């Protein structure tokens, strides 16, 4: 069986804790590898190595660090086929989707190549009598990222690229469900010229996370994952005096106005709701048609579109999406489908029980569609994180806008309309972090993702 090592001080290290986690092939349900789970002592060693390496890396001028990032960019591009296949084999997303995962991460590496300009300071003459003021952008030291299973290339690159370009060392604790791509990216960074120890990859569970949160030499933490753990990371990191960015759950809405182009709306939402098996924090799992006529027409079209989706193994070039990541997650999603039935929502398409010939033990769930979902239902309130689309009907735009505004997860919302005034008023009034106008998946542009990293707190 294949072993997945830590990547410490420029080399693979199996680990000494004696603890391992199983890494499954979601297409078959079989164990394909085991990953070492670090002890507290091993994390301490990784941090100590990073501290030692960071000093020299920070002294290197920004132009030289940018050249390393340029070389890293080129190596990712040269190895994208290998990375995509490796990613899809552990996550389950289809290869085309895996390529998108890598591309979105690569865009932040490209952004980091411009770090010499971004690190320019400011000078204010005459801030006081005989006083001039300089501001300088300097690295924090050693920073860390804790990343989720659903984007094993994009999110590690989003977190690490700018932090490294700014002169920090970076400790990455990726998901133990699909850990191979982060290790391979670290190998490519070393090949690109990154000094040994500047990028460390430590696999582990809560024991490793707790060490990172407490360790005095970790100056900042970035986290993406479930809301419960995001709260824990934020609280613990702040308790120990760290700068913390913790991003949790989402329940994004798509508001469909009567004047919207329904054919385009259905095309957009079917991809946003079911793509990557719904395992995206910026998926669009709630559709809100305004008016009964709009709702009925949308439901009719959506049933046909969802039925037309092909669920397949991750290497099937014709598949629209593949399996979910694990047996436990499959069971969780299916439990929410049953909960929706029990709560009284109208189940129009049931994705449970999907079996693919030759892959009967794979973690597959077919497209699932609910109509007449009510805001009081737990299935609406919670993030399901699977290929499940819920339709909540609204009578007016005001009612529709109140749904994402009042939801616990005010992450993103989209409105589909041809009316510029309605779009403008909606965007101004809805109380949600990101608003899309006829855009179904709201993902930040790399420059906005990385803006914080260009300043002194160099963790995106």
| Residue 369 is assigned to a structural domain of this protein | yes
pLDDT more than 90, % of the chain: 93
| Residue 271 is assigned to a structural domain of this protein | yes
**Pair of tokens at residue 68:** 């390393």
What is the average pLDDT across 391-413? 95
- Domain CATH for 326: 3.40.309.10
Chain position carrying tokens 């952008």: 137
| Residue 139 is assigned to a structural domain of this protein | yes
204 pLDDT above the threshold of 60: yes
**Cα gap 8→205, rounded to integer Å:** 17
- Domain CATH for 186: 3.40.605.10
Whether residue 113 sits in one domain with residue 24: yes
Task: For residue range 151-172, list pLDDT tens digits in order.
Answer: 999 999 999 999 999 999 999 9
**Cα gap 361→376, rounded to integer Å:** 35
Whether residue 229 sits in one domain with residue 273: no
Residue-range definition of the domain harbouring residue 292: 253-437
Angle, CA of 267, 268 and 273, to the nearest 5°: 105
**Pair of tokens at residue 179:** 């850990």
Q: Is 166 known to be catalytic?
A: no
Residue 220: DSSP 8-state: E
Residue 194: DSSP 8-state: P
Number of domains the chain contains: 2
| Residue 459 is assigned to a structural domain of this protein | no
**Pair of tokens at residue 83:** 């990375």
Chain position carrying tokens 């060693």: 45
Q: Give the pairing type, strands 30-36 and 20-25.
A: antiparallel
303 pLDDT above the threshold of 80: yes
Q: How confident is the model at residue 445 (pLDDT cuts 50, 70, 90)?
A: low
Whether residue 159 sits in one domain with residue 192: yes
Whether residue 133 sits in one domain with residue 273: no
Q: What is the pLDDT of residue 443?
A: 75
**Cα gap 153→48, rounded to integer Å:** 25
Q: How confident is the model at residue 442 (pLDDT cuts 50, 70, 90)?
A: confident
Q: What is the pLDDT of residue 458?
A: 26
Q: What is the pLDDT of residue 1?
A: 83
Q: What is the pLDDT of residue 455?
A: 31
Task: For residue range 21-69, list pLDDT tens digits in order.
Answer: 999 999 999 999 999 999 999 999 999 999 999 999 999 999 999 999 9
450 pLDDT above the threshold of 70: no
CA 1 to chain centre: 29
Angle, CA of 421, 422 and 425, to the nearest 5°: 85
């Amino acid at each position: 069986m294949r072993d997945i090592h830590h990547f410490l001080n420029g080399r693979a290290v199996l680990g000494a804790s004696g603890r391992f986690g199983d890494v499954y092939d979601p297409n078959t349900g079989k164990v394909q590898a085991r990953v070492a789970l670090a002890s507290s002592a091993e994390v301490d060693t990784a941090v100590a190595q990073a501290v030692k390496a960071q000093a020299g890396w920070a002294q290197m001028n920004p132009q030289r660090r940018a050249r390393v990032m340029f070389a890293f960019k080129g190596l990712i591009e040269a190895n994208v086929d290998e990375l995509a296949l490796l990613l899809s084999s552990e996550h389950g997303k289809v290869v085309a989707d895996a390529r998108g995962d890598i591309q979105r991460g690569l865009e932040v590496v490209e952004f980091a190549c411009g770090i010499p300009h971004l690190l320019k300071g400011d000078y204010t003459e005459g801030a006081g009598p005989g006083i001039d003021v300089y501001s300088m952008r300097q690295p924090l030291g050693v920073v860390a990222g804790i990343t989720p299973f659903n984007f094993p290339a994009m999110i590690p690159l989003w977190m690490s690229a700018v932090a490294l370009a700014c002169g920090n060392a970076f400790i990455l604790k990726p998901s133990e469900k699909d850990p191979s791509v982060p290790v391979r990216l670290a190998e490519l960074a070393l090949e690109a010229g990154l000094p040994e120890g500047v990028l460390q990859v430590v696999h582990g569970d809560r024991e490793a996370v707790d060490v990172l949160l407490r360790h005095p030499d970790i100056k900042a933490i970035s986290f993406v994952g479930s809301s419960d753990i995001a709260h824990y990371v934020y609280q613990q990191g702040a308790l120990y005096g760290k700068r913390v960015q913790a991003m949790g759950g989402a329940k994004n809405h798509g508001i469909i106005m009567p004047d919207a182009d329904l054919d385009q709306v259905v095309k957009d939402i079917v991809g946003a709701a079911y793509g990557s098996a719904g395992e995206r924090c910026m998926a669009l799992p709630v559709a809100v048609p305004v008016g009964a006529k709009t709702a009925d027409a949308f439901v009719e079209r959506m049933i046909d579109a969802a039925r037309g989706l092909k669920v397949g193994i991750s290497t099937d070039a014709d598949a629209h999406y593949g399996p979910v990541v694990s047996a436990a997650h499959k069971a969780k999603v299916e439990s929410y489908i049953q909960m929706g039935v029990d709560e009284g929502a109208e189940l129009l398409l049931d994705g449970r029980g999907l079996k693919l010939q030759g892959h009967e033990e794979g973690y597959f769930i077919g497209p699932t569609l609910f109509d007449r979902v009510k805001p009081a239902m737990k299935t609406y309130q919670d993030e399901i994180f699977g290929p499940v689309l819920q339709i909540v009907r609204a009578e007016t735009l005001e009612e529709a806008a109140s749904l994402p505004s009042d939801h616990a997860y005010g992450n993103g919302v989209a409105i589909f309309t041809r009316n510029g005034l309605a779009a403008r008023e909606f965007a101004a009034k809805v109380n949600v972090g990101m608003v899309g106008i006829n855009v179904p998946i709201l993902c930040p542009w790399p420059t906005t993702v990385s803006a914080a990293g260009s300043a002194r707190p160099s963790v995106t």
